[in-house]
Amino acid sequence: MRKVCYQDEKNRYFEFLTNNFDITAEEVAFLYKKRWGIELLFKKMKQNFQLHYFYGENENAIRTQVWCTLIAQLLMTVIQKIAQTKKAFSVVASLIRIHLISMLDMVELLRSTSRAYKVQVGEPPGQLQLKLI
């Protein structure tokens, strides 16, 4: 084992253990940083999508489910960036999940800060329509 010490540009001090003797301390820190990003990605996936169980038991089914989840997460992140909202990703995922089959503009839904229900003239009596303010 090899203990590697690294200090970043923000003067934070890190210590890593590795069994690779051929790479520099900067490379070890870079690899751990990338690995941590992957860990955070999978944590976000498990928190916001149904990855508690897999629908299939073979490798192809599991890979397909993970890829579909990654694509859904990417699409939601793109919508979140386009809407320029400060809502948490979990809120964005919940709103999209709830209103997915409605005819609402998801970007406007995420941009709105308040909600109001308005009865539309010409609609059947008692029909409510969501109007974003």
Confidence tier at 67 by pLDDT (50, 70, 90): very high
3-state DSSP of the chain:
CEEEEEECCCCCEEEEEECCCCCCHHHHHHHHHHHHHHHHHHHHHHHHCCCCCCCCCCHHHHHHHHHHHHHHHHHHHHHHHHHCCCCCHHHHHHHHHHHCCCCCCHHHHHHCCCEEEEECCCCCCCCEEEEEC
Residues 71-123: tens digit of each pLDDT = 999 998 998 899 898 888 888 888 888 888 887 788 887 887 666 555 455 55
User: Does 3 have pLDDT greater than 90?
Assistant: yes
Question: What is the pLDDT, as a whole number, of residue 98?
Answer: 84
| Residue whose tokens read 């001090």 | 13
Residues 18-66: tens digit of each pLDDT = 998 999 888 999 999 999 999 998 888 888 887 777 888 899 998 998 8
Distance CA 95, CA 130 (A): 13
pTM of the model: 0.62
